[in-house]
């Protein structure tokens, strides 16, 4: 194996990759901090109560969902942990919330970085939202059927 070639190509590939990421990440993170200070996350959360209702979640969970979807799972889960005590969420609701955030999180940073290396950002975001909706609704649907079934079966067993 030609080690000098390996090293040289590593350096040139690393340089171009990092440069491409740096050029989008610095303005992006500054823009996100600006938007945070305007309070955009809270504003979006205020307008997404109908969406959380659509997922069968309490209105208080909107801010956790929005922070998770826009920034990432680490920050999102911290907020959700605080909310679930106040909002008295059921196990199913917590699973629904994390299913959505798990499939679809950190969308701003990830989408822009992947777009910078040549992928179609619109397809990425669209697919993630569609997949998140599909899996949360499948889960809600299955839990409902299991619940109904267990209620029906219990009296008949005696």
Partner 1 sequence: MITKQTVLRGWNKAVKLVLSLLKYIIPSIFFMKILEHSGWLVRIADFFAPYMAYIGLPGEGALVLLFGQVTVYSGIAAMVILDLTAKQLTIMSTVLCISHVLVLETAIVAKSGANGLLNAGSRVAAAVLAGFILNFVIPGV
Shortest distance in whole angstroms from residue 54 CB to partner 1: 19
**One of 40, 59, 95, 137 touching partner 1 (CB under 8 A):** 95
Decide: 27 and 53 in contact? Cβ < 8 Å: no
128 touches partner 1 (CB under 8 A): yes
- Could you give the 3-state DSSP secondary structure of residue 115? helix
Query: By CB under 8 A, which span of 47-55, 105-113, 148-156 interacts with partner 1?
Result: 105-113
114 touches partner 1 (CB under 8 A): yes
- Could you give the 3-state DSSP secondary structure of residue 150? helix
23 touches partner 1 (CB under 8 A): no
Decide: 112 and 93 in contact? Cβ < 8 Å: no
Decide: 71 and 56 in contact? Cβ < 8 Å: no
Alpha-carbon distance of 116 to 130, in angstroms, equals 23
The dihedral region occupied by 106, where left means phi > 0, alpha psi between -120 and 50, and beta the remainder, is left
Shortest distance in whole angstroms from residue 154 CB to partner 1: 23
Half-sphere exposure of 55 (CA within 13 A, CB side): 28
137 touches partner 1 (CB under 8 A): no
**One of 56, 124, 137, 140 touching partner 1 (CB under 8 A):** 124
Contact set with partner 1 (CB under 8 A):
1-2, 5-6, 9-10, 13-14, 16-18, 21-22, 25-26, 28-34, 36-38, 73-74, 77, 80-81, 84, 91, 94-95, 97-99, 102-104, 110-111, 113-114, 117-120, 123-124, 127-128, 130-132, 134-135, 139
């Amino acid at each position: 194996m030609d080690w000098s070639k390996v090293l040289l190509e590593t350096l040139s590939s690393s340089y171009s990759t990092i440069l491409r990421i740096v050029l989008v990440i610095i303005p992006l993170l500054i823009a996100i901090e600006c938007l945070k200070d305007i309070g955009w996350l809270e504003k979006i959360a205020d307008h997404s109560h109908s969406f959380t209702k659509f997922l069968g979640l309490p209105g208080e969970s909107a801010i956790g969902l929005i922070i998770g979807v826009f920034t990432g799972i680490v920050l999102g889960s911290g907020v959700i942990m605080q909310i679930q005590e106040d909002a008295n969420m059921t196990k199913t609701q917590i699973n629904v919330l994390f299913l959505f955030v798990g499939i679809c999180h950190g969308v701003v940073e990830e989408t822009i970085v992947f777009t910078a290396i040549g992928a179609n950002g619109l397809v990425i975001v669209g697919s993630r939202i569609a997949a998140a909706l599909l899996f949360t609704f499948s889960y809600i649907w299955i839990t409902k059927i299991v619940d109904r079934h267990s209620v029906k079966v219990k009296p008949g067993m005696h």
